[in-house]
Amino acid sequence: MRRLLLAFSVLLIGLLFSQPVFAQKKLSGVVQDEKDKLKLENATVMLLTAQDSILVDFTRSDKDGKFTLNLPDTGSYLVISSYPKYGDFYSPIDAKNNYANFSIALSTKAQLLEEAIVIGRIPIVVKGDTTEYDAGSFKVEKNAKVEDLLKVLPGISVDASGKITAQGKTVEKVLVDGEEFFGNDPKLVTRNIRSDMVDKVQVYDKKSEEAERTGVDDGQKVKTINVKLKEDKKNGLFGKALAGGGTDDYYMGQLMLNKFKGSQKIAAYGLVGNNATTSLSWQDTEKYGENDNVSYSDDGGTFYSTNGGDDFSGEGVIGIPKAINSGIMFSDKTKNGKHKLNLSYKYGKIENEGNEETISQNNLPDQIQNTNALRQIAADKDRQKLNLKYDLQFDSLTLLTITGNASRDNIWGETRNNSQTFDGNMDTLNTSESLDINDRKVEAINARALFTRKFMKKGRSLSMALSINNNESNGDGYLFSDTKIYKDNVLANSIIFDQRKDNRQKSTTKGGNISYTEPLTKELNLTLNYGLQRNDNKSLLNSFNRSSADDPYNILDSMYSNDYAFDRLSNSYRVSLNLNNEKIWANLTNNLNNDRLHQQNNYTNSELTRSFLTYNPSLSMSYRFTKSSNLYFNYSGRNQLPSLNQIQPLRSNQDALNQYIGNENLKPAFSNSFNLNYNSSKMLAGSYMYIGTYINFTNNALIQNVETLDGGRNNFKWANLDDHTNQSISAWGGYSFKLSKKLNIDNGPRLYINGSKTFNSVNSKLNKIDNMSYSIGYNISKNTTKGFDFDINLSPSYQKMSSSLQPDQNNDGFIFNSNGGMSYYFPAKVKLYVNYTYTYQAPTEALKEKFDQFLVHPGISKKFLKNESLMLDFTVNDLLNQNTGFSRSNSNTFFIQRRSDTIRRYYMLKVSWDFTKMFVN
């Protein structure tokens, strides 16, 4: 480990000092009003190369109008300066001369009305809250994509996965000419559209749809990039084709095709492969993916959760995935934007097989139990989904938006499990063997209409929304399990299930809300909102036994069969005050919610009804010191209602060793959350600083108490935590800045601290679970697309994970992560590159095995043809053949470690072609 850290240190030093040192001198001066000689503060001053307008250095004038730029010793350059309401200044510079007292005199635009001036190309312009980059002022490789352009823009970074960060915040939306492109998947913009088609790149905080419609800022904003295309690039055909073949039968293929004609855009893509390269981002998963997990908030809202990624990417699955990911999109605007239509269709399919090994330790008050398990899976899933969005602008004050989607999934899976549990003396407590096969079809239809009417009085508006969501799942399954219980190493009991399963589920949600906003003053607005939502669910699970091996499965097992109907009726009342001026934004919201839950057991003719009246306040405030620095505070009080499954869970025998018991007396949990953030950025200098903290306290927390039975079996029962409070805290900070403007080297340290304290009861004894992690990080990168480029991340950390029942059996340990890449651009259009990921996790008291993995992925590429549109690329995946799926976690009294099959070493040759054909309007 020491040798590895030393090697990384030497590597960093080598990177820093391997760059050539260029002699520089200073260009200093003053920016002032030409007529009144008034010194101008915060004027933008830029130095560009005269030949191709490449940005060399940039700064802003201080309060006395003074500025200083770094000027190379040789070459011809341009100095450009700009200031609001003034004309732009342009002057050629010869580096041979001395510019110790350079004067920039700006004239107001009024003075320039009758004058002819020469305006140079300005790389960066700040317009209010929007930073605009001139794409032609930044140099990238031929046939580079938008992603490559973003990497060289000051203040913007892109990591290896395609995640974009601007001003220290993650970019969640990438638009094309102000419109969503293919479901707003950033990668389908940044890796599809060519950089030479781009005129401007705009970075800003996009307001929520409600705020844009009503004109009342609700504080909800997402970092957004808008890619503005050149006028002569809005009428043409372009795309990319790629094919790759490798050793061990690995393959990949990609086809991107786009046809633009004015506002009309047609796009299609197809991705195939078995090397986990068919990825789309999580934003596209939201747009196209079917959401299997649905939960309801205390304010009547609905939350959807997925498995954390695109189901058809091949990423994160066990084994070797064979995946297809494809889609087609059409969008257009007619009658001067009165009608806007966006249609898209997606098809995906994935197959995978693999193994997963799990080691877990259960720390009980009087003993320790260790379990070794092996899971073998085979899965096949395909999905079709259609999306629709239609905007109708009746007039400048009235807008109707209709959105909808429909999807169909076919899901098949086979899982084999084998496990064995021992006590601390290595005596066998139980063994389990099972086979679980499921085949189901899932269909969903969702629709929503949103009508907004603004009035002549600024800030006054009325909004109405209606929605309906219908989800239906029908499937058959088979379960065989054989669980053996031991006592003193002697077989005491055997539990065998051999059953056919029939599973039918249906959920329908209908709802609507109406919202009215009234301006009380120029800065203060009042919003009144009422919402009504009804959710109806039906769940039928029949389990059938058979009398002998030759007989059909036709004997109903009433213990493990369920036929439930349950519904939820929610009324929500919300009153909000919103304050907004140049410096302060604040929002105080009061939510009152009335929820009625009803469950009917059709097999037993029993029913359960619960009602909850809850109050959920929130306060958000933001203070803007400058346009690029602000302080944000948020408080949220939230009731978490017990679900019907926590009150009365459905009986299941999928896991014979663990059973779940409901509690009809559960009360809502209430959490108090506090969030404080400070952000400051200097876009032109490419620096960003952030610091923040998050604290949460939960009273009456909903927890699972554990009762351990003989043979290592467990009963989990839901309860409220009465005498203690669950707590969590996080703190973070970081600073990124340009280490060298000339060499375009960026770097930044960061710090993260996370901790939590939670409780539950194990065999009637209180268990306190402590988690704490301390992490520091450092990133250094150089991206010039010539010579030597690199991007390196270092992140050492220490984690503490312990249970009060067995404090000596903790999971404390050191962790070190690093990832990055290096590339060198040779003549003859050849590039040599390598990407790497290193992970180290030290052994702990609970898990004695260390984990050490170094993944190296080298490659070499060469471009052909005059326009460099053809590329040959040879890559090696996992050169050292060390890749394996690995994770560690803890839950209640359990420490868990998992290893799984995944893609390892292979060699691949890829050929790609970027094609384009523009038409004359």
pLDDT at residue 675, as a whole number: 94
Residue 180 phi/psi, 5-degree rounding, is -65, 145
CATH number for 152: 2.170.130.10
Residues 247 and 387 in one domain: yes
Per-residue model confidence (pLDDT) at position 292: 32
The pLDDT score that the predictor gives to residue 817 is 94
Residue 431 counted as domain residue: no
310 and 403 assigned to the same domain: yes
Q: How many domains does the chain have?
A: 3
- Rounded to an integer, the average pLDDT of 50-73 is 82
- Number of C-beta neighbours around residue 51 at 10 A: 10
- Using DSSP's 3-state secondary structure scheme, residue 469 falls into strand
- Provide the pLDDT confidence category of residue 606 given band limits of 50, 70 and 90: confident
CA distance 813 to 797: 9
How far apart are alpha carbons 550 and 536 in whole angstroms? 40
Say how far residue 701 (Cα) sits from the centre of its chain. 28
CB 592 within 8 A of CB 573: yes
Domain CATH code at residue 105? 2.60.40.1120
264 with 319, same domain? yes
Output the pTM of the full model. 0.77
- Boundary-marking domain end, from 191, 212, 232: 232
Q: How confident is the model at residue 118 (pLDDT cuts 50, 70, 90)?
A: very low
Pairwise CA distance, residues 526 & 460, whole Å: 9
Checking if the pLDDT of 76 tops 50, the result is: yes
The pLDDT value recorded for residue 5 is 44
DSSP code string of 63-74: TTSEEEEEEESS
**Whether pLDDT at 279 is above 80:** no
Q: What is the pLDDT of residue 149?
A: 86
Q: Are both 269 and 223 inside the same structural domain?
A: no
Q: What is the pLDDT of residues 836-869, one digit of tens each?
A: 999 999 988 877 888 899 999 999 999 998 888 8
Say yes or no: 204 and 260 in one domain. no
Is 239 found in the same domain as 228?
no
253 and 162 share one domain: no
Per this entry, what is the length of the chain?
Answer: 921
**Which residue in 797, 257, 89, 216 sits closest to 528, CA to CA?**
216
**Across the strands, what pairs with 163?**
none
Residue 652 has pLDDT above 70, yes or no: yes
Amino acid at 178: G
Mean pLDDT score across all residues of the chain: 84
State the pLDDT confidence band at 687, using cuts at 50, 70 and 90. Answer: confident
Higher-pLDDT residue of 686, 22: 686
Tokens read off for 597: 């839950």
Confidence band (pLDDT; 50, 70, 90) for 120? Answer: very low
pLDDT band (50, 70, 90) for residue 71: confident
pLDDT digits (tens, 9 = 90+) for 408-448: 999 999 999 999 999 988 999 999 999 999 999 999 999 99
pLDDT tens for residues 368-398? 899 999 999 999 999 999 999 999 999 989 9
Instruction: Name the percent of the chain lying above pLDDT 70.
Output: 88
Q: Which residues share a beta bridge with 27?
A: 69
Domain end point (choices 70, 89, 112) = 112
> Following DSSP, what letter does each residue of 511-576 receive, concatenated?
EEEEEEEEESSSSEEEEEEEEEEEEEEEEEEEEEE-SSTTS-S-EE-GGG-EEEEEEEEEEEEEEE
Q: Is the pLDDT of residue 7 over 50?
A: no
Q: Give a yes or no: residue 653 inside a domain.
A: no
For 36, half-sphere exposure in the C-beta direction (CA atoms, 13 angstrom radius) is 7
DSSP 362-424: EE-SS-EEEEEEEEEEEEEEEEEEEEEEEEEEEETTEEEEEEEEEEEEEEEEEEEEEEEEE-T
Distance (Å, rounded) from C-alpha 842 to C-alpha 800? 12
Q: What percent of the chain has pLDDT over 90?
A: 45
What is the helix, strand, coil percentage profile of the chain, to 5? 5, 65, 30
Q: Render pLDDT for 554-592 as a digit per residue (tens, 0 to 9).
A: 999 999 999 999 899 999 999 999 998 888 999 999 999
Sign of CA dihedral 754, 757, 758, 764: positive
Position 302 pLDDT exceeds 60 = no
91 and 161 inside one domain: no
Lowest-pLDDT range of 35-49, 311-325, 405-419, 803-817: 311-325
Which of 13-17, 487-491, 672-676, 731-735 is the most confident on average?
Answer: 672-676
Q: Is residue 292 part of a domain?
A: yes
Judge whether 586 lies within some domain: no
State residue 121's pLDDT score: 54
Evaluate whether residue 211 is within a structural domain: yes
Same domain, yes or no, for 134 and 250? Answer: no
Q: Are residues 243 and 328 in the same domain?
A: yes
Domain around 262? 234-350+382-392+399-411+906-920
- Does residue 255 sit within a domain? yes
pLDDT at 451: 96
> In terms of domains, do 68 and 217 share one?
no
Flag whether pLDDT at 339 surpasses 60. Answer: yes
pLDDT reading at 251 higher than 90: yes
DSSP state, residue 108: B
pLDDT band at 290 (very low <50, low <70, confident <90, very high): very low
Question: What does the pLDDT read at residue 21?
Answer: 40
The answer to whether residues 41 and 136 belong to one domain is no
Query: In this structure, is residue 206 part of a structural domain?
Result: yes
Residue where one domain finishes, among candidates 85, 112, 139: 112
In a domain, 609, yes or no: no
Could you give the CA distance from residue 820 to residue 839 in angstroms, rounded to a whole number?
A: 12
